[in-house]
Amino acid sequence: MLTAARVAPVSYVGPDFDPPQSRRSRRRPLTVAAAALVPGALLGWLVYEAVGGTGDGGGSDQAGLGTSSYSSPADDSADSPSASSPSAPSSSAADDKQPGTSSTPRTSAPAGSTPLRGKVVVIDPGHNPTNFQHTAEINRKVNIGTNSKECDTTGTSTNAGYPEAQFTLDVSRRLRALLEKQGATVKFTQDGNRPWGPCVDERAEIGNKANADAAISIHADGAAVGNRGFHVILPGSVHAGAADTRKIVAPSADLGERVAGNFLRATGSAPSNYIGDGTGLVTRTDLGGLNLSTVPKVFIECGNMRDSKDAALLTSGAWRQRAAQGISEGIVSFLRGS
């Protein structure tokens, strides 16, 4: 069983999760389409602040963003596995069903309502639930263009033992179902069907070989208590060794901004109060999954698993469905150019 102790490494430790570099001033705040930052989302922040805010002492200059005003439904409590059984199935509540798993029949969208027909999306569920059983394999160094890093990591977990790798698979499967209904062809880097990995270089290669129109890596962070909110990681310009992101920097930024804006609107969660200067956007050049990509690609850290308030959202099946919806709408907006 995957225990909390075994998933202790946090998201910013390992191949694609080193401590962020000092962030240069970004060209603009969260410039997702103005429609994405709808008044309703802003009102949600204000309502949240009125009833207590984030409760952390820092980030007072983060535009007072706070975090989600969404409360998990009572029937989601069974979807928060204990440390002794972090791989327990989701609750039987309707919102906790995982669309798109091998046991769930695929449903074709009605004719004429498939705007993404012909588009390919690659989804990369971060980490792997059984990486902890394969330390030698995941600690092997791989070339990411700028330097070498470990193949993969175990990921983080909530304090109660709900693993990041389980979270990423659940959100990814929900996202796949939504995109397939729009007519997209969706490919996974892993679907819980391999014992470990894949390594970060292979994750990038899967998107490249698929000639994906868009690729996204799903994660949750493992930062300090009081650090809350989501952020989307964009590739910086890298031209070294096997890495050359120059052609994908601009389209990836467009993809990331649309994902961030729609994620905010769908979930009510605010952009991170600890990274990204309140924009919800971070540019990095040290991630193999981005450096080696030749197709537009971003990462999303959906929240901080180590903070109890964010963890209450991340372990809610209803909230994960909202998260998948927001990510889906960002991808659809990007692929349709609208």
DSSP string, 265-314: HHH-PPBPSSSSTTSSEEEES--HHHHT-SS-EEEEEEEETTSHHHHHHH
Query: Is the per-residue pLDDT at 178 higher than 80?
Result: yes
Range of weakest confidence among 2-16, 188-202, 205-219, 313-327: 2-16
Residue of 202, 257, 301, 329 marked catalytic: 301
- Residue-wise pLDDT for 194-235, tens only, equals 999 999 999 999 999 999 999 999 999 999 999 999 999 999
More confident residue, 26 or 71: 26
pLDDT of 114:
86
CB contact burial 103-123 (16+ within 10 A = b; e otherwise): eeeeeeeeeeebebeebbbbb
In this structure, of 66-75, 101-110, 232-241, 273-282, the range with the lowest mean pLDDT score is 66-75
128: which DSSP letter? -
Domain parsing of the chain, residue ranges: 30-70+116-336
Share of the chain above pLDDT 90, in %: 64
Higher local confidence (pLDDT), 155 or 15: 155
Q: Under a CB-based contact definition with an 8 Å cutoff, are residues 139 and 151 in contact? A: yes
- 49 is known as an active-site residue: no
Model confidence pLDDT, tens digit, residues 41-52: 444 443 333 333
Fold for the domain defined by 30-70+116-336: Aminopeptidase (3.40.630)
Question: How does the average pLDDT of the chain come out, rounded?
Answer: 77
Say what the pTM is: 0.73
If one compares 26 and 317, the residue with the highest pLDDT of the two is 317
